[in-house]
Amino acid sequence: MSQRPAVGCLVEVLETLVLTVVIFFGIQAFVAQPYKVQQGSMENTLLPEQYVLVDKLSPRWDAYSYGDIVVFHPPLTWNQGSDVPFIKRVIGLPNDTIELKDGIVHVNGVALVEPYIFTDASGTQQQSYPAPGGASRFVVPAGELFLMGDHREDSADSRNFGPIEISKVIGRAWLRYWPFDKIGLLPVPDHPELASPAP
């Protein structure tokens, strides 16, 4: 019996495997990739050990907006030798002025409504204060974003290291897929208060 059919079958299997690997890594590089939440800075929106899918494609034509949850590479001085990206929420866009006053975030003079901020067991929502010894007012440069965690008292974010270049943002987290009982799209607030100019 000829071994050619067996060899041909093996070649087809190898070609299929190679193609599958190429497609898999191509999708992760350019379309979407999984991300495991490892910090508590987004509680209670996202908890450690949960998994989200990060959209890397749509930001190419759909710019980041207020309230988007994004995954990004932190400044080298803050990654503590780790290559694990951070996950935070977009609070300020390019050219915005961010002020932290009386525990409330103001964007271009407008108090930001933030229903997603961490609330403790008593129903008390955390306040948004500057980092210890840090600035309370920031002007976001062109091409950068101001990012903060939802758990304001347990988040190293733009209050600590300043705005982040958009080029350092991996993508927009849009779907929680693990655990299964928490699967679903991540809600993004509309922030109608920012739609009109400040009084």
Span 185-196, pLDDT tens digits:
998 998 999 986
d(CA 81, CA 197): 42
Same domain, 25 and 64: no
Mean pLDDT for all residues in the chain: 87
Is residue 199 a part of any domain in this protein? no
Same domain, 180 and 91: yes
Same domain, 19 and 61: no
Q: Which of 41, 128, 155, 158 is catalytic?
A: 41
* Owning domain of residue 16: 1-30
Same domain, 5 and 39: no
Lowest mean pLDDT among 5-9, 26-30, 67-71, 167-171: 26-30
Closest CA to 87 of 131, 62, 140, 51: 51
Closest CA to 99 of 64, 129, 125: 129
Q: Given pLDDT bands bounded at 50, 70 and 90, which one contains residue 78? A: confident
Is residue 179 a part of any domain in this protein? yes
Is residue 165 a part of any domain in this protein? yes
Judge if pTM exceeds 0.75. yes
Same domain, 43 and 25: no
Q: Which of 56, 88, 128, 155 is catalytic?
A: 88
Same domain, 6 and 66: no
In the chain, how many domains are there? 2
Same domain, 127 and 65: yes
Given strand 104-107, what is the order of strands in its sheet? 110-111, 104-107, 97-101, 137-139
Using CA atoms, how far residue 34 sits from 55, 75, 83, 132, 178, in Å, is 9, 21, 15, 33, 10
Is residue 97 a part of any domain in this protein? yes
pLDDT top residue among 142 and 27: 142
Asked if 126 contacts 119 with a C-beta cutoff of 8 angstroms, the reply is yes
**Cβ atoms within 10 Å, residue 98:** 23
Our answer to whether residue 88 is catalytic in this structure is yes
Is residue 164 a part of any domain in this protein? yes
Same domain, 84 and 145: yes
Same domain, 7 and 80: no
